[in-house]
Structure 1
């Protein structure tokens, strides 16, 4: 199986309206769209998830949807998973909730060191994102972890590792040579005038690398279409 491309939303880093940029990313072939709304009310995040979900269902797009932090939204929307951060619900608690209600979505988390990655795997994470690999607009002034650190994490873990931070067409080949399961990007797609074309170019560069992931990233849950009409606006942007 090929390495996967995750596109992560950021209300401060997109040229097109956010929903349109994310939909174009899905149309371009992004394997995963992660909705990350750190400061938005739950209702807005839920509305954005549902709106993108509806587009993917109606257009039969293959992109899977994850939501950052909000386990409640992931469960209520029936999406492919939730991505946890340091201040999110602990991984074991999210895993217990998943078992209790019979949800089959993935539980991922962000890590920044080998020790954190090993602890996340031990706690029950289905995958981790590791970074930032290169200098990144999301982490100004902080030194990147680099490819050597990424390779160490990939070699140590038996779950998928997604690389993040400053990744673009020029360096994605070197990133995938570490055996990671895929890459996650924000600016190289959402800051583009044409996110659809940006995704296609990045996916082409990933295929040209010829590298195979040590552990394939395989979302386990289908994204369900909204069961009822959307209520309220999801288009307000900060």
Structure 2
């Protein structure tokens, strides 16, 4: 019964999108993703920048931090060619998120930048998006059928145990943090580079650092074995996005 209800929910959402005129029947994979490894052998890098393959920075969105128009900001970010844009607006309703996701995906496709949706697995399935990032509690609830839809599955991890669990649950990459002091986690000390390195050494999937990442510490992050890093505030507020990339 649960599986049927999940399938119907996705179908109903797709029908609503068609009714609203916002659904496009396409197989969106972010164009630059490599597929997840289903054999359990050597892992694949989750992302390839189609232009220069040089950026290792993921943009995590937070429209509430933007002083300018959010979609214009997304266009500026996409033009700067980050590794990917993760649409994190998880406070929205599923319908509102889906409508926003369609607009952001259109911008990302224009600039050949991968777009990873966040938390709303059913919305991603309705849009036929193949890349999703999930908080670990939501990842645990995903059915095998839902996981099989996605080529890319990421999860947010805050301990080595969570990182190992995320890998067991089928993630193709994880974020680990928070590494440094950050306004998003006021009053909480960063877990530090040793924490990050320990995770990188004990999982076989790419690890992206998150939390307080800046130009001043990104090289230290890279030396831990991390595949790259995630930045939110800088992308949402900075006047010169190219400096972050």
Whether these two folds match at TM > 0.5 is yes
**How does 1:1-238 map onto structure 2 within 5 Å?**
2=54, 4-57=56-109, 59=110, 61-90=111-140, 93-99=142-148, 103-193=149-239, 197-198=240-241, 200-203=242-245
Please tell me whether Structure 1 or Structure 2 has the larger radius of gyration of its CA atoms.
2
* Alpha-carbon distance change, 175 to 87 in structure 1, aligned in 2, over 3 angstroms: same
TM-score when normalising by structure 2:
0.73
Structure 1 ranges of 4+ moved more than 6 A: none
Partner Cα separation in structure 2 for residue 16 and residue 66 of structure 1: 22
* Alpha-carbon distance change, 3 to 157 in structure 1, aligned in 2, over 3 angstroms: farther
RCO higher in structure (CA 8 A, sep ≥6): 1
Measure how far apart 1:2 and its partner are.
5.0
Partner Cα separation in structure 2 for residue 51 and residue 13 of structure 1: 19
Measure how far apart 1:108 and its partner are.
0.8
Q: Which string of whole-angstrom CA distances, capped at 9 and with x for unpartnered residues, describes residues 135-166 of structure 1?
A: 01111111111011000000111001010001
TM-score when normalising by structure 1:
0.75
RMSD value, Cα: 1.7
> Given that residues 108 and 126 in structure 1 are in contact (C-alpha distance below 8 angstroms), is that contact kept between their aligned partners in structure 2?
yes
Aligned length: 193
- Partner of 1:224 in structure 2? none
Measure how far apart 1:12 and its partner are.
2.1
Measure how far apart 1:202 and its partner are.
2.4
Partner Cα separation in structure 2 for residue 104 and residue 88 of structure 1: 15
**Could you list the runs of 5+ residues in structure 2 that have no partner in the other structure?**
1-52
**Could you list the runs of 5+ residues in structure 1 that have no partner in the other structure?**
204-238
Measure how far apart 1:119 and its partner are.
1.3
